[in-house]
Structure 1
Amino acid sequence: MDLQVRHLAAFAALCEEGTYTGAAARLHLTQPSLTRTVQDLERILDTTLVHRGARRLELTDDGREFHARARRILTDLTELEADMRGRAEVRLGFAWLLPAEWSGRVRARWEQLGGHLAIHRTDDPVADLDRGRLDVALVRTTRNGTGTITWQRIGTERRVLAVAADSPVAGQRGLRWADLGAHPLVVNPRSGTTTPDSWPDPHPGREIITCGNFDEWLELVSAGRGIGAVPAIAVHRAPHPGVVYRELPDIPDSPLYLGWRRTPPPSRSTRRFLETALRAE
């Protein structure tokens, strides 16, 4: 007997459900039928994939390797079937404040072609893209990217200063971005647009407060822990009673990028989506 897709699906279900009972129910099989399929798989591969007699499911080293590779194959097969049927879903990830005009235009064009766009908000779209949880990511910084990701700059966004409402800076006249190089700064290293390097000559002793996502960043600014900068769409999309947004004449714009994996190569649907999205920049 040769290795078949049903063997991969059975073993993947067993690994993901953790029990033969749960895997059999998921696959609409009887438990003895699932057990025989896994045993057939081990005979075909001439190796042991599951430790027998353990109180809970335990994989051998070969079992762990086979599961990882089988999962990739099953994912590719699912995407291939969807591509061929014209029902492919493309997963677009972003960290915060997806540009409404751009995303609306791209989604409308993609759906006119028969595609479906699934939008995912995630704290770290670069990492999720690298792990294969996303097909495409829209980001404002590529500093956390790996060598397996291709980045295409699609535009820039005007930024505004964000400062606590009760800070003297909130109402200071004649304020310029260059004047703020010594102020405490709230930084989101994963997806934020502002770092100490955003000033040409930042103060060497400057206090840096880090956070993990946009919501934390906003609350830290509101609490007066530091200043920050954010795309101007935040003025209307992310108002906060404790934060004042100010336009400054010399604040630098921030870039926007689309990213996708080179390895494995993007599916046909992802390539078609990228063609649509890049024409809409």
Structure 2
Amino acid sequence: MAWELRHIRTLVAIAEAGSLTDAAISLGISQAQVSRTLKSLEEAWGVLLVRRLSREAVLTTQGQQAVLRGRHLLAQAEQMETAARGHQTLRLGYSWAAVGRHTRALQRTWSEQQPEIQLALVRGSGPFAGLAEGLVDAAIVRRPAPTGRFDSALVGLERRVTGFPAEDSWAGRRRVRMADFSGRRLIVDTKAGTTTPDLWPEDLRPTFAAEVDSVDAWLDAITAGTGVGVSAEATAHQHQRAGVLYRVISDAPPVEVRLVWHRGEHTPAIAELRRMLTELYSA
């Protein structure tokens, strides 16, 4: 049997919903149809993709790998359809913040200069903001340049800032220094964040008090007084919250801002995005 996109769409729906029943609801079909479609795909490939338990569906290792590639395949199929219909969309992923104070200028400039292609900013998760899963066409990252599956280009630099509770003793300061973090409790995102112990000399390192997996959880922890945080200045521009203050860290090394895309997919649209971002950051 030849498999089709509907088989991949069903597998991805199962992965996202966590059960065949919920996948059927999200797809608008019966559970029996979901079960038959999954079974036919497994028979076509000769592998077990999903373990059916009483109340949930768990992906096997082969299933997890298939879902990662499947999302990318579905995204490409959607791009083919929209291009054929004359409507193109360039999806730009980001994990914490897009391009900070340049975000509005980027959107306006793109709309003026590339009216035939919609630029969609997509907040994703993980170190590459959904790029690895095929959910976006390119991503803004603030981590070391990835290798292997991706290509990247440095488009700009950002200052580092600290976020802290409004009642903290730092509230009266205009700037903070790296040495001031000695003895402080630090909240970090180890998956997509930019803060590591290597930023400080060993004798001045703060205590890494809590790990979070999103900017929202980071802000929640700061608001609750769990500790303070360090991030790129784009976070301060894009995520203002009552009870949280930001200050520039005067002697911290800058954060590299990179545009990342799948290797071999440096399209004219991505090239134009790269040019615009470089110009905005250099202005």
TM-score (norm 1): 0.67
**AA in 1 matched with 2:244:** V
Query: 8 Å contact 1:184–1:208 — kept in the other structure?
Result: yes
SS of the aligned residue for 1:154 comes to strand
Q: Which residue of 1 aligns with 2:191?
A: 190
Q: Which has the higher strand share?
A: 2
Bigger drift between 100-109 and 182-191 goes to: 100-109
What value does the CA root-mean-square deviation take over the aligned residues?
A: 4.5
SS of the aligned residue for 1:130 comes to coil
Give the 5 Å matches for 1:13-92.
75-83=75-83, 86-92=86-92
How far did residue 49 of structure 1 move?
A: 9.6
**AA in 2 matched with 1:253:** P
Q: Which residue of 2 aligns with 1:231?
A: 232
Q: Separation in 1 of the partners of 2:160 and 2:63? A: 47
Residue correspondences, number: 255
Query: 8 Å contact 1:8–1:70 — kept in the other structure?
Result: no
Taking a change above 3 Å as real, the CA distance of residues 136 and 251 of structure 1, as seen in their structure-2 partners, is same
Query: 8 Å contact 1:79–1:267 — kept in the other structure?
Result: no
Max Rg structure: 1
Taking a change above 3 Å as real, the CA distance of residues 77 and 98 of structure 1, as seen in their structure-2 partners, is closer
Q: Separation in 1 of the partners of 2:245 and 2:199? A: 20
Q: Which residue of 2 aligns with 1:104?
A: 104
Q: Separation in 2 of the partners of 1:98 and 1:169? A: 27
How far did residue 142 of structure 1 move?
A: 3.5
Q: Which residue of 1 aligns with 2:17?
A: none
Q: Separation in 2 of the partners of 1:247 and 1:70? A: 42
Q: Separation in 2 of the partners of 1:253 and 1:212? A: 22
Taking a change above 3 Å as real, the CA distance of residues 147 and 165 of structure 1, as seen in their structure-2 partners, is same
2:233 is aligned with 1:212: no
| CA shift digits 1:42-94 (9 cap, x unpaired) | xxx8x8899xxx9xxx9xx9x979x8788766654543353455422111111
Q: Separation in 2 of the partners of 1:94 and 1:275? A: 18
Q: Which residue of 2 aligns with 1:166?
A: 167
2:10 is aligned with 1:8: no
Taking a change above 3 Å as real, the CA distance of residues 71 and 240 of structure 1, as seen in their structure-2 partners, is closer
Q: Separation in 2 of the partners of 1:70 and 1:194? A: 32
How far did residue 139 of structure 1 move?
A: 1.8
Q: Separation in 2 of the partners of 1:233 and 1:116? A: 23
Structure 2 unaligned segments of length 5 or more: list them: 15-19
Q: Separation in 2 of the partners of 1:70 and 1:247? A: 42
Bigger drift between 157-166 and 174-183 goes to: 174-183
Q: Which residue of 1 aligns with 2:265?
A: 265
Query: 8 Å contact 1:182–1:202 — kept in the other structure?
Result: no
2:239 is aligned with 1:243: no
Q: Separation in 1 of the partners of 2:181 and 2:259? A: 30
Q: Separation in 1 of the partners of 2:181 and 2:72? A: 49
The percentage of aligned residue pairs carrying the same residue is: 26
How far did residue 155 of structure 1 move?
A: 0.9
**AA in 2 matched with 1:104:** R
How far did residue 150 of structure 1 move?
A: 1.5
Q: Separation in 2 of the partners of 1:126 and 1:10? A: 27
Taking a change above 3 Å as real, the CA distance of residues 133 and 75 of structure 1, as seen in their structure-2 partners, is closer
**AA in 2 matched with 1:97:** A
SS of the aligned residue for 1:79 comes to helix
Taking a change above 3 Å as real, the CA distance of residues 274 and 85 of structure 1, as seen in their structure-2 partners, is farther
SS of the aligned residue for 1:128 comes to coil
Query: 8 Å contact 1:182–1:203 — kept in the other structure?
Result: no
Query: 8 Å contact 1:86–1:115 — kept in the other structure?
Result: no
Instruction: Determine which of 134, 140, 143 is the counterpart of 1:141.
Output: 143
Q: Separation in 2 of the partners of 1:89 and 1:141? A: 25
Q: Which residue of 2 aligns with 1:202?
A: 202
How far did residue 129 of structure 1 move?
A: 0.6
Q: Which residue of 2 aligns with 1:95?
A: 95
